[in-house]
Structure 1
Amino acid sequence: MAKVRAVDILEKFDLELVSGEDGLHRPIKLSDLSRPGLEIAGFFDYYPAERIQLIGMTELSFFQRLSPEEKKERMDRLCDYETPAIIISRNLSVPVELIEASEAYSVPVMRSKMTTTKFSSQLTNYLESMLAPTTAVHGVLVDIYGVGVLITGQSGVGKSETALELVKRGHRLVADDCVEIRQEDIDTLIGHSPELIEHLLEIRGLGIINVMTLFGAGAVRSHKRITLNVYLEQWHPKKQYDRLGIEEDKLKIIDSEITKITLPVRPGRNLAVIIEVAAMNFRLKRMGVNAAQEFTEKLAGVISEAGVDEMK
């Protein structure tokens, strides 16, 4: 099923349907828009027919200068079988030739009251959001001090229990069990919960709880940008874990990479507090304060001074 159709644009922006009603269910596959000025002038060699065609005052003013034969020919070619929709801005009058061509080829023609530039900006933002690449990840997404933390790990490792403790400490739940993620821009991942399990948290032995009902509306949020991944794994005695925090792993989701921290899980470790501190430390690093790097530099200085003393 198509993510966006012409009818969705009609309803979203409260547009007026002028003609071509039979084509309202045409799919929209691209977020790019086209201003068909050159096409109205007669140059169709590179006509991007698969885009929404946005016509403003400039295009219509030039169109009025054409002969009747040219007007009909241009509008017939503009209404391609691939064209998802044609939108007229500024509530301008729609040419009769366009109405006739749209009915013949079932291309919906809609009209907006907004200016061309303003409508173009709003429509592009909407399409980029709706048509962004998406995926789903098994995990929990929590907003901790403004940092979107994606908690992942094997089933039963304690992700939901940790999220519950974080909510009790004043942080906000975004999604549990399944996190739907869309890439809205380069290195911009937005996570949200499927509608069916929104605000719900599954605790083994307790069942499903509604976080918003128990803790209030301030304990949840609908979506959050993901910037940090905390991977929980069972403690392996023979595995060497990072003790300084110098090395930084990355997790790739779609085409973006986010910082990844691996936390070993064993009895006695307060994972909620550790993840909370990890989020605060991540914020500090982005502000230019890196405790591990400062310690390493101090240690190198002490070793260097000790070597000079030995040489004396």
Structure 2
Amino acid sequence: MKKFTVLELLSLELKEHNDLDLKCIAGRKGLARKIEVPNVNRPGLALSGFFESFAYNRIQIFGRGEHAYLKKLEKEKKSENIKKIFTFDIPCAIFTHNLMPTKDFLDAAEEAGCAVLQTSLPSANFTARILRVLNDIFAAREVVHGVLIEVFGIGVLLTGESGVGKSETALELIERGHRLVADDAVEIRCVGGNYLMGMGANKMLGHHMEIRGLGIINITHLFGVGSIRDEKRIELVVNLEIWDSNKQYDRLGAQKKTKEILGVRLPCVDIPIKPGRNIPILIETAAMNERLKQLGVHSSREFNEQVMRWLESENVRNIYFHNNSI
């Protein structure tokens, strides 16, 4: 399980719908504490004195309800439960709606060395955002050698041995109007345990490609910002390999081949390379065919069904004419 600190959470450069708008208002000594669980907890029961099954190892979220109860405890001069909360090794406490904790709460947090953060976001909105961010941070990751490109809206991962022509093929696809996501090293993360997102493993390199004979080229400068994107869901794996005359390649598309990455199975096609074959147009066709399958249209299955219907009708005719000729 990946571990990162509260300080790293504060330092995340998030944009638009992922922005957490966090700031530290107390307990700065606790910024070094580690967040080890990608989940949050509302400690209402703990404030009332019920600590059985207290999810102390999660980020504690204090909304308007918890804040109102803290004010009630301060008014009644009951701070025992607040102090007991901080006897647990909680990662941090976050107050939404720009709410300011009570003095008892701040004193207990400072004494325990636990960071107290504040956000202007409403509780529901903030919870949805931070869960999305935590799931992304804690997602299983793997770096693979290949090229990720968006073809007709389908994220296509090109794999194959070094020097087989993945980058050159991707360059031709970009020239034909498709978009590059990553070249050479693709970082793949599993989101929600059921689909894969891919992006460049090295952000410093940006959207550059290494083309043998040309060197490093900048796709953004050559083809414009419309030819790139930062990340893309991977929906198809295309494995490029040198043509092997001794290998039997699938000619009907009836064989359903898959490739497993981070526990997720993706449809995979092998495209043999030899002089005269137009590989980019084959990849375009594979991407369009995958989109059709997602819409419930299976060309190879329909072809097989038509062949079977033809064979059945042919057999019926033969039996009919054979019986009438007797």
- What is the TM-score with the length of structure 2 in the denominator? 0.90
Classify the secondary structure of the residue corresponding to 1:292: helix
> Would you say 1:147 and 2:154 are equivalent positions?
yes
TM superposition shift of 1:92: 2.2
Classify the secondary structure of the residue corresponding to 2:255: coil
Classify the secondary structure of the residue corresponding to 1:7: helix
Q: Deviations over 1:109-154 (max 9, x none)?
A: 1122222112111221122222211111110000001000000011
Classify the secondary structure of the residue corresponding to 1:177: strand
Distance 2:10 2:103 in 1: 21
Distance 1:257 1:45 in 2: 40
2:6 alignment partner AA: A
1:241 alignment partner AA: Y
CA contact (8 A) 2:74 2:102 kept: no
Q: Which moved more, 1:205-214 or 1:79-88?
A: 79-88
Match 2:39 to one of 32, 35, 46: 32
Gaps of 5+ in 2: 13-19, 321-326
Distance 2:126 2:296 in 1: 40
Partner of 1:164: 171
Partner of 1:250: 258
- What is the aligned-residue RMSD (CA, Å)? 2.0
Partner of 1:84: 91
1:213 alignment partner AA: H
CA contact (8 A) 2:21 2:120 kept: no
TM superposition shift of 1:184: 1.7
**What pairs with 1:126-137 in structure 2 (closer than 5 Å)?**
126-137=133-144
CA contact (8 A) 2:74 2:104 kept: no
Q: Deviations over 1:181-230 (max 9, x none)?
A: 11122322111112132211111122111111111111111111100000
1:304 alignment partner AA: E
CA contact (8 A) 1:71 1:97 kept: no
**What pairs with 1:5-154 in structure 2 (closer than 5 Å)?**
5-11=5-11, 13-66=20-73, 71-80=78-87, 82-154=89-161
**What pairs with 1:173-184 in structure 2 (closer than 5 Å)?**
173-184=180-191
Partner of 1:310: 318
* Number of residue pairs matched by the alignment: 312
Distance 1:113 1:198 in 2: 33
TM superposition shift of 1:15: 2.6
Classify the secondary structure of the residue corresponding to 1:226: strand
Q: Which moved more, 1:147-156 or 1:59-68?
A: 59-68
TM superposition shift of 1:66: 3.8
Partner of 1:264: 272
1:232 alignment partner AA: L
Distance 2:178 2:85 in 1: 53
Partner of 2:249: 241
CA contact (8 A) 1:233 1:265 kept: yes
2:97 alignment partner AA: R
Distance 1:189 1:233 in 2: 24
Match 1:228 to one of 225, 230, 236: 236
Q: Which moved more, 1:22-31 or 1:297-306?
A: 22-31
TM superposition shift of 1:73: 2.3
Partner of 1:295: 303
CA contact (8 A) 1:24 1:108 kept: yes
Classify the secondary structure of the residue corresponding to 1:197: coil
CA contact (8 A) 1:137 1:180 kept: yes
Distance 2:83 2:234 in 1: 47
Distance 1:48 1:81 in 2: 10
Distance 1:209 1:146 in 2: 24
Classify the secondary structure of the residue corresponding to 1:261: strand
Distance 2:208 2:72 in 1: 61
Q: Which moved more, 1:208-217 or 1:114-123?
A: 114-123
Q: Deviations over 1:77-96 (max 9, x none)?
A: 22245311101122223122
Q: Which moved more, 1:87-96 or 1:270-279?
A: 87-96
CA contact (8 A) 2:2 2:138 kept: no
- Percent identity between matched residues is 40
Cα 1:215–1:305 shift into 2, 3 Å = same
Cα 1:179–1:71 shift into 2, 3 Å = farther
- What is the TM-score with the length of structure 1 in the denominator? 0.94
Cα 1:19–1:242 shift into 2, 3 Å = same
Classify the secondary structure of the residue corresponding to 1:231: strand
TM superposition shift of 1:163: 0.5
